[in-house]
Copies of this chain bind each other. A is one copy, B any other.
Amino acid sequence: MSYSSNVAQDSLAAAQLEMAGNPNALALRRPFDPVAHDLEASFRLTRFADLKGRSCKVPQDVLGKLVESLQQDYSQQEQDQFMHVAIPRIGIGLDCSVTPLRHGGLCLVQTTDFFYPLVDDPYMMGKIACANVLSDLYAMGVTECDNMLMLLGVSTKMTEKERDVVIPLIMRGFKDSALEAGTSVTGGQTVINPWCTIGGVATTICQPNEYIVPDNAVMGDVLVLTKPLGTQVAVNAHQWLDQPERWNRIKLVVSEEDVRKAYHRAMDSMSRLNRIAARLMHKYNAHGSTDVTGFGLLGHAQNLASHQKNEVSFVIHNLPVIAKMAAVAKACGNMFQLLQGHAPETSGGLLICLPREQAAAYCKDIEKQEGYQAWIIGIVEKGNRTARIIDKPRVIEVPAKD
């Protein structure tokens, strides 16, 4: 890591243009207009990568095979090394790694994530990337992040002008989101890459009671989801507004206005922090949680189920989806696999196992504090640590925020 610094103080002009004077007043922000930055009207950030957001993940089974080489040696030797401490070592397979430290009962909770642009507004892209990285901490019930690093790949295909407009805006969005989370970005790495890349590292040092090991689901628990599905469908549909042959495939089920609303709902949702959702996990005695990202709702549900101590399975009955996006997904045939639970999400909600009697109160509390709904989407029953969606799940249409 080696960010140099002694350069004139003028690079924020572009970013400040966007802010309408108040960096935190997102409501006041004008949407990104390439022309206002002397870029071509046709400039689209999403064109600087062939994959979008979390759909860049290496398939789950392939990845599993590849990381075998990392796992197999965290064996007896490693375990023994930590036997003198009461903190279990948590590694590959969950949202964060948890490492016991040399110092007084503390542990290190850490995660990293990076991906490709999936919205065309660079500032929002930065916010989404930051929210997405932090989400792994929140999934473990950790609400305080001590430090963030930023990982950036500047596309080889960007002109200098494009780079100088777009990269500071991405950085600013990332940083504003970090500030909103009560943390800050102290460094990172920036490289040149064919595709534009954005991501980061989030780190917390905490007491063991600050995180929730997500392995404690019991029969009778219910599953709560804190954000709607369909972000990937929404960003794709929005891109198709520019592509008549694609648009023709979906225009019978959705209007331009519907797509624009869904796109903004998706951006709003992806840039929202799961921090309050995490805080309330402690208040309502959550038994475990994961965040829904590149492997889709079912992929992450299955992964969470596989880590349970008890012989339980997850059954999902309800699918809250950004309004009209279920219809778009259906109109596209098997492409998204949204209702099958396989559509990748970016910076999705937390999927939480909660005691049945606390779940409604959890949902009510989150709505009261944030003005966003959460949904009970399924149940935990006796089983062999798998997850499934029922045959005809109920789709809950989640409207755009006003």
Known contacts A146-B99, A203-B108; is A5 also within 8 Å of B189 by CB? no
Do B106 and A205 have beta carbons less than 8 Å apart?
A: yes
Do A7 and B61 have beta carbons less than 8 Å apart?
A: yes
Complex partner residue of A171 from B11, B64, B69, B98, CB under 8 angstroms: B69
Do A11 and B69 have beta carbons less than 8 Å apart?
A: yes
- State whether the Cβ of A168 lies closer than 8 Å to any Cβ in chain B: yes
Chain B residues within an 8 Å CB radius of A136: 1-2
Interface string of A32-64 (1 = CB under 8 A from B): 000000000000000000110000111011111
Do A175 and B205 have beta carbons less than 8 Å apart?
A: no
Q: How many copies of this chain does one complex carry? A: 2
- State whether the Cβ of A102 lies closer than 8 Å to any Cβ in chain B: yes
Per the 8 Å Cβ criterion, residues 229-286 of A in contact with B are none
Do B149 and A92 have beta carbons less than 8 Å apart?
A: no
Interface string of A68-93 (1 = CB under 8 A from B): 11111110001000000000011111
Chain B residues within an 8 Å CB radius of A108: 146-147, 203, 205
- State whether the Cβ of A193 lies closer than 8 Å to any Cβ in chain B: yes
Complex partner residue of A112 from B149, B193, B194, CB under 8 angstroms: B149
- State whether the Cβ of A195 lies closer than 8 Å to any Cβ in chain B: yes
Do A175 and B69 have beta carbons less than 8 Å apart?
A: yes
A93 to chain B, nearest CB (A): 4
Chain B residues within an 8 Å CB radius of A293: 2
Do A306 and B115 have beta carbons less than 8 Å apart?
A: no
Do B78 and A184 have beta carbons less than 8 Å apart?
A: yes
Do A168 and B97 have beta carbons less than 8 Å apart?
A: no
- State whether the Cβ of A172 lies closer than 8 Å to any Cβ in chain B: yes
Do A63 and B190 have beta carbons less than 8 Å apart?
A: yes
Interface string of A84-121 (1 = CB under 8 A from B): 00000111111111110111101010111111000000
| Complex CA–CA separation, A10 to B136 (angstroms) | 29
Do B191 and A58 have beta carbons less than 8 Å apart?
A: yes
Chain B residues within an 8 Å CB radius of A164: 65-66
Per the 8 Å Cβ criterion, residues 167-216 of A in contact with B are 167-168, 171-172, 175, 179, 184-195, 197, 199, 201, 203, 205, 207
- State whether the Cβ of A369 lies closer than 8 Å to any Cβ in chain B: no
Known contacts A144-B102, A203-B110; is A70 also within 8 Å of B185 by CB? yes
| Complex CA–CA separation, A233 to B302 (angstroms) | 49
Chain B residues within an 8 Å CB radius of A11: 65-66, 68-69
- State whether the Cβ of A12 lies closer than 8 Å to any Cβ in chain B: yes
- State whether the Cβ of A159 lies closer than 8 Å to any Cβ in chain B: no
Do B194 and A194 have beta carbons less than 8 Å apart?
A: yes
- State whether the Cβ of A67 lies closer than 8 Å to any Cβ in chain B: yes
Complex partner residue of A193 from B8, B67, B195, CB under 8 angstroms: B195
The 10 closest A-B pairs by CB, nearest first: A97-B186, A7-B64, A3-B92, A194-B194, A97-B187, A5-B93, A1-B111, A11-B68, A69-B168, A4-B64
Q: Which A residues are closer than 8 A to B by beta carbons?
A: 1-12, 15, 50-51, 56-58, 60-74, 78, 89-99, 101-104, 106, 108, 110-115, 136, 144, 146-147, 149-151, 154, 156, 163-164, 167-168, 171-172, 175, 179, 184-195, 197, 199, 201, 203, 205, 207, 290, 293-295, 300, 303, 306
- What are 17 sample pairs from A and B whose C-beta atoms fall under 8 A apart? A1-B136, A2-B290, A2-B293, A4-B61, A4-B295, A7-B68, A9-B72, A56-B191, A63-B190, A66-B190, A89-B186, A99-B146, A110-B201, A113-B189, A114-B191, A189-B199, A193-B197
